[in-house]
Structure 1
Amino acid sequence: MEIGAPARPLTVWVVSDGRAGIENQALGLAEAVQRLTPAVITIKRIHWRPRADKLPVLLKTPALLDPSSDSVVPGPDESWPDLWIATGRATLPLSLAVRRRSGGRTFVVQTQDPRLSPSRFDMVVAPAHDELAGDNVFRITGSPHRVTPARVAAAAAEMADTLSPLPRPHVAVLVGGRSAAFDLTEAHAADLADRIARAIRAAGGSLLLTFSRRTPTPARAVMIDRLDKLPGLIWDEHGPNPYFAFLGAADHVLVTEDSANMAAEAAATGRPVHILPMVPRKPGGKFARLHADLEDRGATRPFGATLPVWTYEPLAETDLAARAVLDAMAAR
C-alpha cells in the first residue's frame, strides 16, 4: 500500500506498565508509524490493583486497574483509537478487551510473544528469536525500539561540548545484569572491565559507560573502580540518561549479551557492535538465536582483545514492522 496523507491523522494509543524498556517497544513502533503517515500518539501507563495483579489474563477486566492508571476507555468527547500498540503481559487483558469493545474500530497490535494465540490480536510484532508463528505474526530481529540515526545524532549533538573533545575512538559500553539466563558476578565484572580498559587504551580512545537497573551493585562498583581512570564519561544516574547520545557519538558499541533490546538497538546505528560475554545460567535458547541472527547480518561480533572496525547496513526492523502494520490496517 502506498501511504498517502489521510483525511485526518491516525490516533495511536501506546500502552504499557510504564517501565522504560517495555514502553519503548510500543512507543518506538508508534513513532515509526508516525514517520510513515500523520499520527497523534497518546501514551497510556497502566497498573493493576495488587490483588488483581496475579490473576490469569482472561480473568482481568479494566475495572481491576489501579486508580493511578491512565484511562483506557474513551472519554465523552473521544473515540476509540485507530491503532492500539501494547507491550508487556500487564497489557494483555486490555488489548483483548479493546479489540472486542471497539467493535473492530481499533486495530490492536501486541509486541513480544503474548503467550496467547496470536489470533486474539489483529497483529503481533514478535522477535524472530521467540519463534512465534501465525498468519498475523510479523517477525523482526530483536524488538521494536526508538533508536534511529536521526534520534541518536541529535542526542549526540546536544552533548557535543562534552563528548566531542574526548579522544577517538569513542567506545560506548552498555552493561546489563542478572536475569533468568545470565549473571554478572563481581569477579566476572572485574575481568570484563580489565579487558575493556586494555582494548580502549590500545586504541587510544575513550569510554562512554552506562549501566542497567539490573546491574548488581558489586559488579557496578568494581567496573567503575577499574574504568574511571580512562578518558570518557560514566553516567552516574543523575540527570537525563545519555543512552541515545552515547549511541550517536560511538565509534564502537560494546553490549553485554543478556540484553536483546540493547543489542538490537546498537545494531540500528551501523557501528561495530561487540558482544560482551556474561556468566550463563541457562545456555542457548532465544539469546543464542538472536546473537546468531545479528552476527549473520554482519552487525555484531564477540568482543575480543582489540576493537576492529567493520561496516554493515544498519538494521531498520522497527520501520519494517510499522509498514507491515499500516499495510494490514489498509487490507482490513
Structure 2
Amino acid sequence: MSCWIVTDGSAGMEIQGIGLAEALGLEFEVKRIVTKAPWRWLPPQLWINPLSLLDKTGDVLLPPWPDVLITCGRQSIPASLAIKKANGAKTFTIHIQTPNSDASKFDLVIVPEHDKLRGDNVLVCEGALGRITPEKLHEAGKKFQETVSHLPSPRVAVLIGGSNRCYDMTEDVMKDLAAKLEALHDEVKCSFLVTTSRRTGEENEHILKSALNNVPHQLWTGEGENPYFGYLALADALIVTSDSVNMVCEACALGKPVHIFELPGGNAKFNYFHKRMRDKGYTRPFKGRLEQWSYPPLLETQKIADEVRVILQSRQK
C-alpha cells in the first residue's frame, strides 16, 4: 500500500510517523507542509478548502491520494480531513497524538498514555513512537564502533534537547549539566557520547564544548553523518534532558539505565509522563552519578504497528 506521512516538518512529529510506517513495512513519502496565517491559528473545522491554503514553500498535496495517510501535529489535521473527504474509505487515516478536533473523523488515532483521549478508534502507547529497532541498533553499533573505540568505558550517551514551550535550557542550566558531567568523569573515569538538538542553541553548545575540552568525549552538533543510533547502541548508560518525550522513549528502547536531567519548567502532561516512566522502572533522576538497573526494552512502535496491521487487514477482507 502507498503511504504519506504529513507533518509540519517538526522532527519529533516526523520521526513518529516514519517509525510507524517502517514498522508496518510500508513504502512511504514524507510530506512537509507549511500552513498560512491566519488559518494555522484556527480550528480545523474553520478551514475553507484546506489543501489550497498550504504555502508553496512546503509540499503541496495533490492526488493520487495514498492508501494510508499518517499525520502528526495539529497543522496536519485539516489536510487529513480534506483528503478523507476527497477519497473516502480508499484512504485509511491515522493521526498520532490527540487531535484538536473530533477524533471520530479519523480511522485511527494513536495517543501516548499520558494523553487522556480514549475511544473505539484510539490506540494507546507508552510514550512516543520512534524508529528504534534491535536490528537498527545492531547495524549502527557496528558502523560507529571504530570511531568510539578509543574512548574509555563506561561510555555514557548524553542526549541534550533545549528550550520549548514547557522547559527552559538557560546558560546556567547548561553550566550545571556540564559541571555534573565533568564531576562524573572525575569520579568514574567515563567518557561521553553527546548529541545536541536544534533547540540547544549555540551559546549552550559553546558552554558544553568548553566544559568537555579535557574530558574524553565525542560531540555531535549536526555536522556530518548523524551517529545518534550508534551512540545509543554503544553506550553503557544514558543521560537525557527532560524536555523531549521522544528522546526519553528512544533511550528506554535499549533496556539500559536512563538518567533524566530535569530542566526548569514542565507541565501536567510532562510531569505525569516522567513519573510514570520512573514508576515503571525505565528512568531515574540524574543526581550526578551513574546507577545500575535493568528493565525490558520499551519497544512500543512494533506493538502498535502489530495492532494497526490487524485493523488494516480486516478492512481489506
Task: Pick from 295, 301, 314 the counterpart of residue 331 of structure 1.
Answer: 314
Q: Which residue of 1 aligns with 2:53?
A: 64
Determine if contact 1:228/1:234 at 8 Å carries over to the other structure. Answer: no
Distance in 1 of aligned mates of 2:291 and 2:22: 33
How far apart in 2 are the matches of 1:104 and 1:227? 55
**So what's the TM-score if we normalise by structure 1?**
0.88
Alpha-carbon distance, 1:66 to partner: 2.1
Q: Equivalents in 2 of 1:328, 1:72: separation in Å?
A: 26
Q: Does 1:25 align with 2:16?
A: yes
Find out whether 1:278 has 2:263 as its counterpart: yes
SS in 2 for 1:255: strand
Instruction: Give the residue type in structure 1 aligned to 2:53.
Output: L
Distance 1:309 1:171 in 2: 12
Tell me how far apart the structure 1 counterparts of residues 199 and 123 of structure 2 sit (CA, whole Å): 29
Q: Are positions 1:45 and 2:36 aligned together?
A: no
Any idea what SS the aligned residue of 1:286 has? helix
How far off is 1:292 after superposition?
1.8
Q: Which residue of 2 aligns with 1:299?
A: 282
Distance, in Å, in 1 between the alignment partners of 2:134 and 2:181 is 26
Q: Choose 287-296 or 166-175, whichever is displaced more.
A: 287-296
Alpha-carbon distance in structure 1 between the residues aligned to 2:310 and 2:186: 49
Query: After the TM superposition, which residues 90-105 of structure 1 pair with which residues of structure 2 at under 5 Å, given as runs?
Result: 90-105=75-90
- Percent identity, please: 39
The 5-angstrom pairing of residues 29-178 of structure 1 reads 29-34=20-25, 39-50=26-37, 52-58=39-45, 59-60=47-48, 61-75=50-64, 80-178=65-163
Q: Output the amino acid matched with 1:16.
A: T
1:167-206 pair list within 5 angstroms: 167-206=152-191
Residue in structure 2 matching 1:321, options 284, 304, 307: 304
TM-fit CA distance, 1:143: 1.4
Amino acid across the alignment from 1:299: Y
**Residue 243 of structure 1, CA deviation:** 1.4
Could you say if the C-alpha distance between residues 205 and 174 of structure 1 is closer, same or farther in structure 2, counting changes exceeding 3 Å?
A: same
Greater alpha carbon shift after TM alignment, 309-318 vs 213-222: 213-222
Q: Is the 8 A contact 2:3 2:28 kept in 1?
A: yes
1:148 CA drift (Å): 1.6
Write out per-residue CA displacement over residues 42-79 of structure 1, whole angstroms, 9 at most, x where no aligned residue: 2222222455434442215101122244343324xxxx
**Mean CA deviation greater in 195-204 or 95-104:** 195-204
CA distance in 1 between counterparts of 2:37 and 2:101 reads 23
Aligned-pair Cα RMSD in Å: 1.8
Name the CA distance, whole Å, in 1 between partners of 2:185 and 2:97.
36
Q: How far apart, in 2, do the equivalents of 1:62 and 1:247 lie?
A: 39
Q: What residue is the counterpart of 2:244 in the other structure? A: 259
Correspondence 1:13 to 2:1: no
* Aligned-residue offset at 1:259: 1.0
Q: Say if 1:141 and 1:293, in contact at 8 Å, map to a contact too.
A: no
Tell me whether 1:222 sits opposite 2:211 in the alignment: no
CA-to-partner distance for each residue in 1:94-119, whole Å, 9 max, x for gaps?
11112221121111000011121211
Note the alpha carbon deviations across 1:230-279, whole angstroms, 9 max, x for none. 11101142112221111111111100111111001111111110000111
**More displaced 10-residue stretch of structure 1: 263-272 or 223-232:** 223-232
Whole-angstrom distance in 1 between the partners of 2:13 and 2:67: 21
After the TM superposition, which of the residue ranges 52-61 and 200-209 deviates more from structure 2? 52-61
Q: Which amino acid aligns with 1:45?
A: R
* Separation in 2, partners of 1:216, 1:14: 28
Given residue 235 of structure 2, which amino acid in structure 1 is its aligned partner?
Answer: A
Cross-structure match for 1:7 = none
* Aligned-partner Cα distance in 1 for 2:15–2:169: 24
> 2:21 touches 2:27 (CA, 8 Å); kept in 1?
no
* 2:43 and 2:101 in contact (8 A); partners too: no
Distance 1:324 1:288 in 2: 28
SS at match of 2:3: strand
